[in-house]
Structure formats: structure tokens, C-alpha cells
């Protein structure tokens, strides 16, 4: 099970990576748009310095045709490092690029996946991760759990090395359902995890434990 952060916000990454067991970060042009203009390569180099090479970094291409996607990929790998996962939307042009990059042993994440056929063709093309868009599927009246579980079954039946990366989450319930349906990894905004761990009932329980302890031992703590 893997958790990644779906953000380019460096202060959030710095703050929350020490708290949550994060294995990488993902981004796309819309995430960058929401964050505000960044100095693209400098910013991702800074994120790499922060997360190190043991965590994965998934950066999306912008071009839509195969040649352009390959050029985007080459530039990202040159400017950042050769461990980056090139995030490629699973279109016909994207699939072609995925196959070419995998022949060169480049790390690839297939993205913008709403349907089973996109996921299954990306598996067969060799993608390392397939990013399945949970909330966007729900908005389209597509059952994301069905798409995830079919993809998971095919990975198991045919021994693909690909991991399912649940993406596009708006709340923790969706994240848990994605894992239950067979996702190997999820990418979430730190705020989704923060909200889930900040329930008043959790804090109330912790306060009750402290107050019961204090009624026996006063202000002393275990280490005193």
C-alpha cells in the first residue's frame, strides 16, 4: 500500500512528509495552475531534493501527439533526473509514447484514466503505474470501484508489474474504497489526510485518556 501527495506545494510536502508514510508525489498542469505559476524545473528539482530518490516523482507531459510527448519526456528526464515517472494521458498517442518509453526502460505513469479499456491497454503497453480518476469517474456516473477491481484482477491474472494508483480524490471515504477495490497506491492532497486524522472524536479520546491519567497521577508523565 502506498500513499503519494498530489501536490506541488513545497511547504505542505515538507510539513506532512514527516507525518505520513509518503512514497512519492504526483502533479499535473491543473495542479500547478491551482498552486500558481512556478519556475517549472527549479521547482521540481527542489521537490526532488526534499523527497529524495527513494520516493517517486510523477511529472506530466503537456504535448498531445506522440513525438511531442517523447520530447517533453526527454526534457523532463534531462532537466530533473532519469528516475522521474513520466505521466502520460492514456490516449492513442499517449499509448504509443508509453510503449516507446518503456522499451527504453523509462519510468511511466499512465494517467487521465476513466475507463477499463484505457487501464487495460496501459497495462499491456508496460506502464509502471496507472492513475485511475476516482472522483471524476463518479462525476461521469462510472463506478470507480468496478474499474479498479477489474484492473486489479487483470494485473493478478496476467502478472503485470503495473501498480494501480488511485487519483482524483475529494475525501477519505473514496480513498479507502479505492484500496478496498484493489488499488496498490493512492495519491491525495495532504489536506484530505489531515482532515481525516483531525476528527474531534479522536482528539476527545486522547483528551479523556490524559484526564483519566491525571486524575490518578496528577501532572506527572510516564517518563517523570
Determine which residue in the list 30, 157, 219, 223 makes contact with ligand E4P, applying CB under 6 A. Answer: 30
Q: Which stretch binds ligand E4P (CB under 6 A): 66-74, 127-135, 146-154, 176-184?
A: 127-135
Report if residue 136 touches ligand E4P, rule: CB under 6 A: yes
**Cα distances (angstroms) measured from residue 79 to each of 16, 73, 74, 124, 216:** 26, 10, 9, 29, 60
Task: Give the footprint of ligand E4P on residues 64-93 (CB under 6 A).
Answer: none
Task: Give the footprint of ligand E4P on residues 97-126 (CB under 6 A).
Answer: 111
Report if residue 163 touches ligand E4P, rule: CB under 6 A: no
Report if residue 167 touches ligand E4P, rule: CB under 6 A: yes
Q: Which is nearer to ligand E4P, 107 or 187 (CB)?
A: 187
Whole-number minimum distance, CB 113 to ligand E4P, in Å?
Answer: 10
Determine which residue in the list 9, 26, 56, 107 makes contact with ligand E4P, applying CB under 6 A. Answer: 26
102 is catalytic: no
Q: Which is nearer to ligand E4P, 29 or 217 (CB)?
A: 29
Binding interface with ligand E4P (CB under 6 A): 6, 26, 28, 30, 111, 131, 133, 135-136, 167-168, 187
Residues involved in catalysis: 87
Amino acid at each position: 500500500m502506498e500513499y503519494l501527495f498530489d501536490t506541488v506545494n513545497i511547504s505542505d510536502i515538507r510539513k506532512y512528509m514527516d507525518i505520513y508514510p509518503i512514497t512519492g508525489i504526483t502533479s499535473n498542469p491543473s495542479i500547478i495552475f491551482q498552486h500558481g505559476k512556478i519556475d517549472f524545473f527549479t521547482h521540481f528539482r527542489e521537490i526532488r531534493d526534499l523527497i529524495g530518490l527513494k520516493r517517486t516523482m510523477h511529472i506530466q507531459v503537456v504535448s498531445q501527439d506522440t513525438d511531442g510527448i517523447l520530447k517533453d519526456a526527454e526534457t523532463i528526464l534531462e532537466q530533473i533526473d532519469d528516475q522521474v515517472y513520466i505521466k502520460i494521458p492514456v490516449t492513442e498517442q499517449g499509448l504509443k509514447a508509453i510503449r516507446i518509453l518503456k522499451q527504453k526502460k523509462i519510468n511511466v505513469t499512465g494517467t487521465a484514466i476513466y475507463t477499463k479499456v484505457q487501464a487495460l491497454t496501459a497495462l499491456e503497453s508496460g506502464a509502471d503505474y496507472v492513475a485511475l480518476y476516482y472522483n471524476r469517474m463518479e462525476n461521469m456516473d462510472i463506478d470507480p470501484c468496478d474499474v479498479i477491481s477489474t484492473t486489479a484482477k487483470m494485473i493478478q491474472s496476467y502478472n503485470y508489474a503495473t501498480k494501480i494508483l488511485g487519483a482524483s480524490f475529494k475525501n477519505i471515504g473514496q480513498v479507502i474504497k479505492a484500496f478496498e477495490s484493489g488499488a496498490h497506491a493512492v495519491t491525495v492532497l495532504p489536506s484530505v489526510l489531515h482532515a481525516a486524522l483531525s476528527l474531534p472524536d479522536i482528539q476527545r479520546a486522547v483528551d479523556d485518556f490524559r484526564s483519566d491519567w491525571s486524575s490518578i497521577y496528577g501532572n506527572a508523565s510516564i517518563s517523570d
